[in-house]
Amino acid sequence: MHPRYLDPEIETLPRARLEKLQAEKLASQVARVIAKSPFYRAKYAAAGFSASPRVAAPEDVRKLPILSKSELREAQAAKPYFGDIATVPASDFIETLSTTGTTGRPFHCVWTKNDLAYTHAVMRRTVWTMGIRPGDIVQIGFAYGLFVAGVNVHLACQQLGCLVVPIGATNTERHLEYLTGLKSTALFATPSFAMYLAERLKEAGVAPESLGLRIGCFGGEPGTAVPATRAKLEAGLGLDARDYYGLAEICPGMSPECEAKDGIHFCEDHAIVEVLDPETKEPVADGEVGVLVVTDLSREAVPLLRYWTNDLVRLVRERCACGRTHARAPGGIVGRGDDRINLKGAKFYPTQVENAVRAFAELAPEFRIVLAHDAAKRADNCTVRVELAPGFAVAGEAHATLIERVAAKLRAETGSGLAVEIVPTGSLERAMTKSKRVIDNRKPLVR
């Protein structure tokens, strides 16, 4: 095996050859969904396609209409459980998992035997990119059950020759036991859960350098690419933190961060990625923020074409310092389109608040963004609730000074004047899986 790449030929493929491969796979996938999926046939007929459109290059994907998650949910609601989206008969399905449903009704994903083989091949490549190697003791902090990431990360690492510790999410005491006893060398979890484990270890007086951890692969939510969060994860657990992105609907681990830490890499031999303006739906220039749209080139049962992820990224296509040629997103997922907060003309994302709060050693990593409406002033306001880190105590002038410093950092990050409230240490609930840190108490203005 290559020390850096699991599949060196594909991972360093010149872009001209990569784009030729994408065009061939796109033409085949479009023809197949129109021929075999009632859902796509109706959707594309409504868009004016009576037959498969001509596809000669990856950018020809723009001829196709965008696909939203609400369409998928509606299709499955109309014909439970799986809708009429699939391009294979139901007898070919061998596994079903689902999205988390954090933003609405869960979408039920299905796989064929070929789909699982492709998914595990991609995930073996991606975990290798993040530094997982045969012989690693891999501790899984992702949820199992119907959650897509847990079982697929488990199998990919196992297939590489790792010892897998399938603890899952929420069982904090068992995680601490294996981290300190077995000396696991790699940890998969959400950034929020990993941060909580670091807090618990510190409370127990366990020094990070006494652990065996070498690599942390953190996904399921934005955060790892936030500089202050990465620094706290690495210091608190004594590891090298890597960002990891996936989509249950396409591939649960499709975009890893390499040792250069200059963005999550997309596996472009299996997907075409676009970044579109959220309003106009037109492509933005490389390096500009827009919504990630993914076209699945390899999925057999339920391929998603021009799928609007609602995740915000910046995309670049020049060769990475690691030598990989596939497109990547520096800074990872900036946020989600529906996460953006509009406040008195300023627009910002929770990740910006996260970077500000976690820059302070005096503060615990947990926080809440509380939005409310002041009826008297007919204006919205925002308060960021933070905790003091264990062992820190401030009162009087020191308390006021810390609030001023945090508020100044928040203004620099978000461009908005946000109130700061310090609450008792440990009073904010810690997330074991995906975090929910925005509390919106605003009500529609009655005129």
| Percent of the chain whose pLDDT exceeds 70 | 97
- Assess whether 259 and 357 both reside in one domain: no
User: pTM of this prediction?
Assistant: 0.89
- Assess whether 9 and 110 both reside in one domain: yes
Distance CA 272, CA 67 (A): 14
Residue 444 has pLDDT above 60, yes or no: no
Residue 358 has pLDDT above 50, yes or no: yes
Distance CA 153, CA 194 (A): 16
In a domain, residue 123? The reply is: yes
What is the chain's mean pLDDT, rounded?
92
Would you call 41 exposed, middle or buried from its count of C-beta atoms within 10 A (0-12, 13-18, 19+)?
middle
pLDDT at site 447: 34
- Assess whether 228 and 369 both reside in one domain: no
More confident residue, 105 or 82: 82
Distance CA 156, CA 392 (A): 42
Taking residue 232's Cβ as centre, other Cβ atoms within 10 Å add up to 21
Residue 103 has pLDDT above 60, yes or no: no
pLDDT classification of 101: cutoffs 50, 70, 90: low
Location of structure tokens 């095996």: 1
Q: Which residues contact 42 (CB under 8 A, 6 or more apart)?
A: none
What pLDDT digit, counting tens, does each position of 303-330 carry?
999 999 999 999 999 999 999 999 999 9
Beta strands 438-440 and 163-165, pairing class? unpaired
**Domain interval for residue 368:** 340-440
Domains held by the chain: number:
2
Ramachandran category for residue 250: left, alpha or beta (phi over 0 → left; psi -120 to 50 → alpha): alpha
pLDDT at site 442: 82
Residue 75 has pLDDT above 70, yes or no: yes
Backbone angles phi, psi at 114, to 5 degrees: -65, -35
pLDDT at site 69: 93
Would you state the structure tokens that stand for residue 428, as one six-digit string? 């904010």
What pLDDT digit, counting tens, does each position of 31-74 carry?
999 999 999 999 999 999 877 788 899 999 999 999 999 999 99
SS3 393: coil
pLDDT at site 118: 94
Closest to 58 (Cα-Cα) out of 87, 30, 86? 30
Residue 257 has pLDDT above 90, yes or no: yes
In a domain, residue 288? The reply is: no
Could you give the residue ranges of the DSSP H alpha helices within 132-262? 148-160, 172-180, 191-203, 227-237
pLDDT classification of 93: cutoffs 50, 70, 90: very high
In a domain, residue 328? The reply is: no
- Assess whether 259 and 370 both reside in one domain: no
Q: What is the CATH number of the domain that holds 408?
A: 3.30.300.30
Element at 295 (helix H, strand E): strand 289-296
In a domain, residue 324? The reply is: no
Distance CA 347, CA 337 (A): 11
More confident residue, 145 or 423: 423
Give the side-chain half-sphere CA count within 13 A for 77. Answer: 9
More confident residue, 6 or 437: 6
More confident residue, 347 or 178: 178
In a domain, residue 350? The reply is: yes
